[in-house]
Amino acid sequence: MNEVTVFIMGKGYRVPAGLTIMKAMEYAGYRLTRGCGCRGGYCGACATVYRLKGDYKLYGDLACQTTVQDGMYIAQLPFTPAERPAYRLEELQARGETLLALFPELARCVACNTCTKACPQKLEVMDAVQAALRGDIPGVADLTFDCVSCGLCTMRCPAEISHHHVWQLARRLNGAYLTPRAPHVAQRVEEVRAGKFKGELDRLVAMPKEGLVAAYKARDIEP
């Protein structure tokens, strides 16, 4: 079996080549009870920093997506502490000034692009910061749609911007006030309230497990 040496929290282990950092940690005997989640790159819970042998750079990535390399030094991050102001969405206006009022550190951005380089999702983070400074809430929401809130950009930012919290607010404002309402969604909500699907739901609830499995496998799937 082809193996590589990795250092986890300073201790060396031989692990199979080709494993992700998360799987390598478990292979080495670590029981992951935090700092892990979906294991598919969608939740951002497994933010990790590491160095490579002979390389001066400090890298950040998601442990569930990154393959181990020989001589890799790894440190797991349970979470990223960042300031998040308290607010009530219904009391806010969908204006650019709202973002800057709640996150004044945005104005400290020096356009160094370190945040973009740190993003494991390859998002244009600095462009989103500039959109926020221009008051372009839909632009921020669009640029950060795939953000998983891992916080790696915030840890590398010299201006100490709480990027992921800014993105959350922008997406909430955009969804609540600026996105056109979909008529078919409102129609379906009314159908649910009127009990249109109650009989079918009651039938599924009463169905044994074997029946549910069979119904799931036989369901119509859109191409």
User: Which CATH number belongs to the domain containing residue 158 in this structure?
Assistant: 1.10.1060.10
**Are 94 and 172 contained in the same domain?**
yes
- For the segment 139-151, the average pLDDT, to the nearest whole number, is 94
User: Confidence class of residue 14 from pLDDT cuts 50, 70 and 90?
Assistant: very high
Tokens describing residue 152:
């790696």
**Are residues 159 and 102 part of one domain?**
yes
**What CATH number is attached to the domain comprising 72?**
3.10.20.740
Provide the pLDDT for residue 38. 85
Q: Which residue has the tokens 């500039």?
A: 130
Q: Tell me: do 35 and 94 sit in the same domain.
A: no
pLDDT in tens, 62-88: 999 999 999 999 988 877 788 889 999
In the chain, how many domains are there? 3
pLDDT value of position 1: 67
Domain that holds residue 197: 186-212
Residues 174, 194 share a domain:
no
User: Is position 222 within any domain?
Assistant: no
- Please report whether residue 61 resides in a domain: yes
Q: Decide if 198 is inside a domain.
A: yes
On the question of pLDDT at 19 being above 80, the answer is yes
Question: Is the distance from CB of 78 to CB of 34 less than 8 angstroms?
Answer: yes
- Domain identity same for 134 and 168: yes
Q: What is the pLDDT of residue 221?
A: 82
Q: Is 123 in the same domain as 197?
A: no
Q: Is the pLDDT of residue 217 over 70?
A: yes
pLDDT digits (tens, 9 = 90+) for 112-137: 999 999 999 999 999 999 999 999 99
Question: Which of these three, 11, 46, 76, is where a domain ends?
Answer: 76
Tokens of 172: 């909430």
**Of the residues 76, 111, 140, the one at which a domain ends:** 76
- Do 174 and 103 belong to one domain? yes
Other beta carbons within 10 angstroms of residue 203's beta carbon come to 11
Q: Is residue 83 part of a domain?
A: no
* Same domain as 190, residue 152: no
Q: Is residue 82 part of a domain?
A: no
Interval 151-167 mean pLDDT = 93
Average pLDDT, the chain: 92
Could you identify the residue written with the tokens 């990027």? 163
Please state the three-class secondary structure of the chain as a single string: CCEEEEEECCEEEEEECCCEHHHHHHHCCCCCCCCCCCCCCCCCCCEEEEECCCCCCCEEEECCCCECCCCEEEEECCCCCCCCCCCCHHHCCCCHHHHHHHCHHHHHCCCCCHHHHHCCCCCCHHHHHHHHHHCCHHHHHHHCCCCCCCCHHHHHCCCCCCHHHHHHHHHHHHHHHHCCCCHHHHHHHHHHHCCCCHHHHHHHHHCCHHHHHHHHHCCCCCC
Instruction: Give the pLDDT score at 119.
Output: 93
pLDDT (average), residues 84-100: 93
Q: What percent of the chain has pLDDT over 70?
A: 99
| Domain shared by 138 and 118, yes or no | yes
CA distances from 208 to 6, 205, 213, 214, 222 (A): 48, 8, 9, 10, 26
Are 71 and 15 members of one domain? yes
Nearest Cα to Cα of residue 143 among 161, 159, 129: 129
| pLDDT for res 79 | 76
- Judged against a pLDDT cut of 80, whether residue 52 lies above it is answered with yes
Residue count of the chain, please give it.
Answer: 223
Q: What is the pLDDT of residue 34?
A: 79
In a domain, 130, yes or no: yes
In a domain, 218, yes or no: no
